[in-house]
Structure 1
Amino acid sequence: MQNILIVDDDTHILQLVRIQLEKEGFHVSEAKDGTEALTILKKTACDLAIVDVMMPFMNGFQLTKEIRKQYDIPIILLTAKGQIEDKEEGFLAGTDDYLVKPFEPRELSFRIHALLRRYQQETDTHIIRLGHTEINLDSYEVKLGDKTLLLPLKEFELLALLATYPQHVFTRAQLIEKIWGMDYEGEERTVDVHIKRLRKRFSSQTAAFSIKTVRGVGYRLETAE
């Protein structure tokens, strides 16, 4: 189930959008400001963000820039403003689409589906770049500069998952389910073994990323700023 993040300080808009998207089978996460939204993104893998421009503490343009720094997900800006200058600022901040209030929930839905399709097509041939490290999801290769590595399948899938959602904390149970499948009957310790192997492979070869242990929870991949 795809997860949509809605960020708006207007509870009416939150409710309106949530009802529409839940009817279509999406899971919805809600935030009333930018700070809350960034906290959610650290804990929850989201497939798309709907961001209101006029919010306290951090406006939608600022939040869009922050999301763009860390996550590769489509963003739709919502605003009561329709001036060309505001649209320009939104696209310069990194938004993918722009919808002026008031809007029809179904129009928002059309735009969401279009963006998700487009991003999925891009993901089908996606290369994740972490500094000079490239993770090719099509060829299952990892390139470190001029060197090409072919990792064991589970190691590659584990690295690719963590790299797709940098800074996101995955529990061992979540990693088992996503990489080994829900029918896996082995021990969660296998995750620790594979993480140890990945660290051994890359820690001496690149400073572009590192895999951190979150004590009592699981793991996250951190990128070098």
Structure 2
Amino acid sequence: MLLGISLAKLGLYSFSISGEAIMANSILVIEDDADIQQLLSEYLAGFGYTVHSEGSPEKGLSAFKSLSPDLIILDVMLPGMNGFEVCRRIRQDSQVPVIMLTARGDVMDRVAGLEIGADDYLPKPFEPRELVARIQSILRRSQQSSTHETVNFGELYIDFDARAALIKGKDIGLTTNEFNALAVLARNPGKTFNRDDLIQELRGLESDSYNRSIDITMSRIRQKLGDDPKLPRYIKTVWGTGYVFIGYGKDD
């Protein structure tokens, strides 16, 4: 876990916004360690974010419903109810971006978080500036505005402005990260993206040396699209390379 009880001990005494204009987004931190709560609140406030912290799963879920934050930072190891269950309950009502903190950096913790709909993960101990970079990347993509851009691929309708994907007129409920991944592919039909390219597109960061996050994200998108990997209509796996959007539908 993160050590120390002061910003200086964490190396948080020298940071700058580097001229980047940051909107006053609200962030909910659900973390039972009071020191980490305080440190994250102070550090993130320095980057223009409004931060609310809760130390228990129940209070965190209550705050989520009352505050409607723009992003949630969620610890896995919480008392009484773990972060996976908290994330699962959040996903029943919302697609708000969720970054999970894993105490051990266990690969299976990361996989479990992504499989239930987390947008990103960060193992402890972590570099706070990397957390900010991930927050900025996720929020930037979730708030991008454009002219009203839509596209149809048979039964699949994608509204890039509303950030929604619909099958037969029904929203399939993609998370922020899932929609971003689908958007990258759907905007470039026929182009093969390898995993590192997709991670760079989604996070704006270099990939981990062992990273299954893209495969998990694609699996979840396919499930929601009702797409069979063996007979794909939308997303095809290019073995040994990555993924390509083929955009086949019944009406094509």
TM range (shorter): 0.5 to 0.7
Correspondent of 1:111 among 122, 131, 134: 134
Measure how far apart 1:93 and its partner are.
1.5
Q: Quick check: which one's helix share is greater?
A: 1
Indicate the SS of the match to 1:51: strand
- Cα deviation, 1:12-52, whole Å, max 9, x if unaligned, reads 11111111110111111111121111111121120000000
**Corresponding position of 2:106:** 83
| Partners of 1:16 and 1:105 within 8 A in 2 | no
| Shift in alpha-carbon separation, 1:27–1:124, aligned structure 2, 3 A | farther
* Residue 3 (structure 1) aligned with residue 3 (structure 2): no
Normalising by structure 1, what TM-score?
0.54
**Corresponding position of 2:120:** 97
Identity %: 40
Runs of 4+ in 1 over 2 A off after TM superposition: 121-127, 136-139
- Cα deviation, 1:36-88, whole Å, max 9, x if unaligned, reads 11111121120000000000121111111111111121100011122221111
Partners of 2:37 and 2:93 in 1: CA distance = 24
Give 5+ residue unaligned stretches, structure 1: 128-133, 140-144, 147-225
**Corresponding position of 2:81:** 58
| Partners of 2:146 and 2:161 within 8 A in 1 | no
| Shift in alpha-carbon separation, 1:88–1:20, aligned structure 2, 3 A | same
| Partners of 2:99 and 2:119 within 8 A in 1 | yes
| Higher mean C-alpha deviation, range 80-89 or range 15-24 | 80-89
* RMSD (Å) for aligned C-alpha atoms: 2.8
Q: Quick check: which one's strand share is greater?
A: 1
| Shift in alpha-carbon separation, 1:138–1:122, aligned structure 2, 3 A | closer
Partners of 1:35 and 1:59 in 2: CA distance = 11
Give 5+ residue unaligned stretches, structure 2: 1-23, 151-156, 163-167, 170-252
